């Protein structure tokens, strides 16, 4: 039995708070944690499948043009080689998140250097890899493909454009104004587990083990790519070794494995090499962002301008949503917002860790620091003065807004010094030391979700959904929600995820997983409670369950009478999506040291205070925040994709040369969870967490660099060469 709930109104009943089991919000360790760290949790490529052949993708060595011939004989006689696949259904790009249709197909048309064009299948991985390197391919090259985003006429993303009032006038009249341009380099998701798939056919039925974030969409994408019915397909992603956006849509290896397995009549495994993951999946676009801020003498914004240039391949709809939070972060009645996309032939740009705010907020919050300095106002105070009453563009209320609390509590916990801020005040030996802060914002996303909860006759519970856990803690929080609602210990709840045989969840992405699927589980549990209450002749609201018993001491197993009780919860966000502007908010504080001689920057300490609705598990929530802050250190200091200026290929395509922060770059991070209940965000009053932790943090570091050594930088990442170029002597 399915219970459908479409949420049109905020739910401020806070029912989870009234339950008696007392496990919701508790810092429980991740259920699957031990299996993962002991290597017993199987990842996509690790399923032992008999008679499985190995496929390796062949990638293009031109930027744009056409594959005119592939000489199979060049590899078919090599040891172990079984076949070459160049089926026109092969995908040449990964699908964008929630695309719900096949990504670009037709491997003969080359659109970027490194694009998959064929697959070689052999008995062993090494044989396939060797043969893939030896496959003779001829091309007709289309020279002169543009690869520099600054060198083409960009396209305007009209739905992002805002013209309100007269910004130029406001700038001219302003007591204080800022007009600065920031740049950010491209980023890679850099998940540990490479993209991998094993495909198996049984007649016309296909099973694929893959590393994917959103099975609900992925199955449609795969069905579309293969031109078959979803009913004949099963996708399995029980454990995902990180996705960070790169596994939102299906990527090339999934379709290639399916086609190859069909062609040779054997299971086929395709694992992308680290270099291929970097070069073929998704990049975050580089950005150029102009910020214009006009303020009165009190620092209150009267004008707000944010214009950004990003890039993508021809034919892609995705444009890094740089302005996402800029639309509502600050007031200012005179507004100019515009997002432009340059069509260039670098690999696909798509969702990478907090698309939009991850790079938009660092630029905006850097500019706010410049304004604070110009206006002579403490940066925390400036932010406090500019919290808008409601969405400044949409005439909508905020679902909730904890920014002021985050700012004041964060400043206090960090020991923010409200004194006058002048750069170059503290020096220890070779090191300049300084502090900086920035706001955090990340839109709250929510999606339709289904989950089945079964209260088993033996008194345990089973939660089933095709939702994935990409390392965030989904298994654990779903067990906690069900346990809380049904009065069980979390260890009595078995959570089964990542299999399309189960009811369709929303998938993991855009930080929407917990609130969306958590709501579906909540609805299912509530329906079970209703049935139990009916059996007891009471109401669901009155029903008290704890430690597998009712308040009256009746055992759940007795109530069940030897039978399972199952309900499917179906959550759908209704009018709440349109009636409110919903976002997570927060504040970052950082102390850094900058080496006077070498320009090296190290983060000494960092604190993030975040308000994102209900905390479902204090430990996994904190871990999400720590991960986010760590990424913001990467944005600030180290991460940069480098593209060859001639053919546009990605050059630094491994984890040695693409610099994510290492342990030594990450100090002890402090996280303040500023608890709130946001009934307009979801019926469990929770919002998204994961990404918020990286949306703005880089600016806290950049602003601290300025405060430390006087180098005001406008280009991320702030590597030693850039710091040195800007540091006063």
Partner 1 sequence: MRPFQYSRAPSLAEASNLTADENALAIAGGTNLLDLMKLQVETPDQLADINRLGFADIEDTDEGGLRLGSLATNTETAVHPRVRADYPVLSRAILAGATQQLRNKATNGGNLCQRTRCFYFTNIDQPCNKREPGSGCGAIDGIAKLHAILGTSEQCIATYPGDMAVALSALGAEVQISGDKGERSVPVRDFHLLPGDTPWIENVLEPGEIITGIVLPAPVGSTQIYRKVRERSSYAFALVSVAAIIELTDGKFSRADFAFGGLAHKPWFDPRFGEALIGQPPSEALFDKAADVLLEDARGYGENDFKIPLTRRTLRAVLAQATEDAA
Can you give the binding site for partner 1, defined by CB under 8 A? 61, 79, 126, 129-130, 133, 273, 275, 429-430, 595-600, 602, 637-638, 642-646, 649, 651-652, 656-657, 659, 661-665, 719-721, 724-725
Residue 664 neighbours by CB under 8 Å, 6+ apart: none
Q: Which one, 649 or 712, has the nearer CB to partner 1?
A: 649
Long-range CB pairs of 408-413 (<8 Å, 24+ gap) are 408/380, 408/384, 409/609, 409/672, 409/674, 410/437, 410/586, 410/587, 410/588, 410/589, 410/607, 410/608, 410/609, 410/672, 411/380, 411/437, 411/587, 411/589, 413/607, 413/609, 413/670, 413/672
Active-site choice (253, 336, 572, 691): 691
Q: Which one, 235 or 713, has the nearer CB to partner 1?
A: 713
CB of 186 to partner 1, least distance (A): 13
Contact between 61 and 117 (Cβ < 8 Å): no
| Cis? peptide before 717, omega within 30° of 0 | yes
Q: Which one, 151 or 229, has the nearer CB to partner 1?
A: 151
Q: Closest Cα partner for 45 from 212, 226, 221, 203? A: 212
CB of 639 to partner 1, least distance (A): 10
Q: Which one, 127 or 386, has the nearer CB to partner 1?
A: 127
Q: Which one, 479 or 718, has the nearer CB to partner 1?
A: 718
Beta bridge partners of 231: none
Q: Which one, 69 or 598, has the nearer CB to partner 1?
A: 598
CB of 145 to partner 1, least distance (A): 16
Radius of gyration of the chain (CA): 26
Contact between 452 and 583 (Cβ < 8 Å): no
CB of 384 to partner 1, least distance (A): 34
CB of 73 to partner 1, least distance (A): 19
Contact between 58 and 116 (Cβ < 8 Å): yes
Alpha carbon dihedral 270, 274, 278, 281, in 10-degree steps, equals: 20
CB of 494 to partner 1, least distance (A): 36
The two three-digit tokens of residue 374, written as one number: 């110009």
Neighbours of 377 (CB within 10 A): 20
CB of 132 to partner 1, least distance (A): 10
CB of 652 to partner 1, least distance (A): 6
Q: Which one, 491 or 657, has the nearer CB to partner 1?
A: 657
Active site residue 676: no
In whole angstroms, what is the distance from residue 153 CA to residue 340 CA?
9
In whole angstroms, what is the distance from residue 42 CA to residue 269 CA?
14
Q: Which one, 70 or 178, has the nearer CB to partner 1?
A: 70
Q: Which one, 9 or 148, has the nearer CB to partner 1?
A: 148
In whole angstroms, what is the distance from residue 511 CA to residue 508 CA?
7
Helices 252-264, 215-226: crossing angle, 10 deg rounding:
50
Encode 488-521: b = buried (16+ Cβ within 10 Å), e = exposed. bebebbbbbbbbbebbbbbbbbbbbbbbbbbbbb
For residue 76, count CB atoms less than 10 angstroms from its CB and return exposed for 0-12, middle for 13-18, buried for 19 or more.
middle
CB of 347 to partner 1, least distance (A): 14
The two three-digit tokens of residue 678, written as one number: 């946001």
In whole angstroms, what is the distance from residue 268 CA to residue 53 CA?
5
- C-alpha distance across the termini of the chain, in Å: 72
DSSP state of 105: B
The residues carrying an active-site annotation are 691
């Amino acid at each position: 039995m399915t219970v459908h709930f479409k949420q049109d109104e905020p739910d401020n009943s806070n029912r989870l708070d009234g339950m008696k089991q007392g496990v919701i919000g508790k810092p429980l360790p991740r259920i699957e944690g031990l299996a993962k760290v002991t290597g017993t949790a199987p990842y996509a490529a690790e399923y032992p499948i008999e008679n499985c052949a190995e496929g390796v993708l062949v990638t293009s060595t031109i930027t744009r043009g056409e594959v005119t011939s592939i000489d199979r004989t060049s590899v078919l006689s090599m040891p172990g080689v079984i076949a070459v696949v160049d089926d026109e259904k092969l995908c040449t790009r990964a699908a964008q998140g929630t695309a719900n249709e096949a990504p670009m197909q037709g491997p003969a048309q080359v659109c970027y250097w490194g694009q998959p064009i064929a697959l070689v299948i052999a008995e062993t991985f090494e044989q396939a890899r060797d043969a893939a390197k030896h496959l003779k391919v001829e091309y007709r090259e289309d020279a002169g493909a543009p690869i520099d985003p600054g060198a083409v006429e960009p396209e305007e993303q009209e739905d992002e454009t805002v013209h309100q009032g007269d910004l130029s006038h406001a700038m001219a009249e302003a007591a204080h104004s800022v007009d600065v341009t920031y740049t950010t380099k491209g980023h890679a998701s850099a998940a540990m587990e490479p993209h991998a798939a094993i495909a198996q056919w049984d007649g016309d039925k296909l099973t694929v083990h893959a590393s994917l974030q959103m099975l609900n969409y992925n199955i449609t994408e795969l069905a579309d790519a293969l031109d078959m019915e979803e009913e004949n397909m099963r996708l399995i992603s029980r454990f995902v070794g990180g996705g960070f956006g790169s596994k939102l849509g299906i990527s090339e290896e999934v379709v290639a494995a399916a086609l190859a397995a069909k062609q040779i009549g054997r299971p086929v495994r395709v694992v992308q090499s680290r270099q291929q993951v970097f070069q073929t999946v998704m990049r975050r676009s580089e950005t150029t962002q102009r910020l214009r801020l006009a303020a009165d003498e009190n620092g209150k914004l009267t004008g707000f301008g944010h214009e950004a240039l990003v890039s993508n391949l021809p034919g892609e709809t995705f444009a890094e949503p740089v302005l996402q939070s800029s639309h509502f972060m600050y007031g200012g009645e005179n507004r100019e917002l515009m997002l432009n996309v340059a069509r260039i032939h670098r690999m696909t740009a798509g969702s990478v860790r907090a698309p939009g705010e991850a790079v938009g907020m660092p630029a905006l919050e850097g500019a706010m620091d410049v304004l604070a300095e110009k206006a002579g106002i403490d940066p925390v105070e400036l932010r406090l003065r500019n919290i808008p009453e409601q969405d400044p563009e949409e005439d909508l209320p905020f679902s909730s807004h904890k920014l002021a609390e985050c700012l004041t509590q964060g400043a206090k916990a960090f020991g923010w010094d409200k004194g006058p801020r002048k750069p170059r005040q503290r020096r220890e030996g070779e090191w300049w030391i300084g502090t900086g802060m920035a706001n955090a914002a990340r839109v709250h996303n929510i999606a339709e979700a289904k989950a089945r909860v079964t209260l088993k006759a033996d008194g345990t519970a089973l939660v089933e959904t095709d939702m994935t856990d990409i390392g965030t803690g989904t298994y654990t929080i779903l067990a906690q929600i069900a346990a809380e609602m049904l009065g069980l210990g979390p260890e009595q709840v078995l959570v089964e995820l990542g299999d399309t045989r189960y009811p369709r969840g929303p998938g993991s992405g855009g930080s929407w997983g917990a609130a969306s699927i958590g709501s579906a589980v909540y609805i299912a549990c509530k329906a079970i409670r209703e049935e139990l209450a009916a059996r007891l002749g009471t109401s669901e609201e009155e029903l008290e369950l704890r430690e597998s018993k009712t308040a009256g001491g009746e055992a759940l197993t007795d109530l069940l009478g030897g039978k399972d009780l199952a309900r499917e919860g179906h959550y759908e966000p209704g009018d709440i999506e349109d009636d409110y502007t919903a976002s997570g908010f927060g504040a970052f504080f950082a102390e850094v040291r900058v080496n006077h001689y070498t320009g090296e920057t190290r983060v000494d300490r960092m604190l993030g205070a975040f308000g994102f609705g209900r905390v479902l598990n204090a430990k996994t929530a904190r871990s999400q925040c720590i991960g986010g802050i760590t990424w913001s250190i990467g944005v600030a200091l180290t991460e940069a994709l480098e593209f060859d200026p001639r053919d546009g290929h990605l050059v630094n395509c491994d984890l040695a040369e693409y610099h994510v922060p290492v342990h030594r770059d990450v100090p002890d991070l402090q996280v303040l969870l500023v608890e709130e209940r946001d009934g307009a965000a979801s019926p469990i009053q929770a919002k998204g967490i994961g990404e918020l932790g990286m949306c703005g943090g880089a600016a806290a570091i950049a602003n601290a660099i300025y405060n430390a050594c006087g180098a005001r930088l406008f280009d991320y990442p702030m590597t030693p060469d850039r710091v040195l170029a800007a540091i006063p002597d």
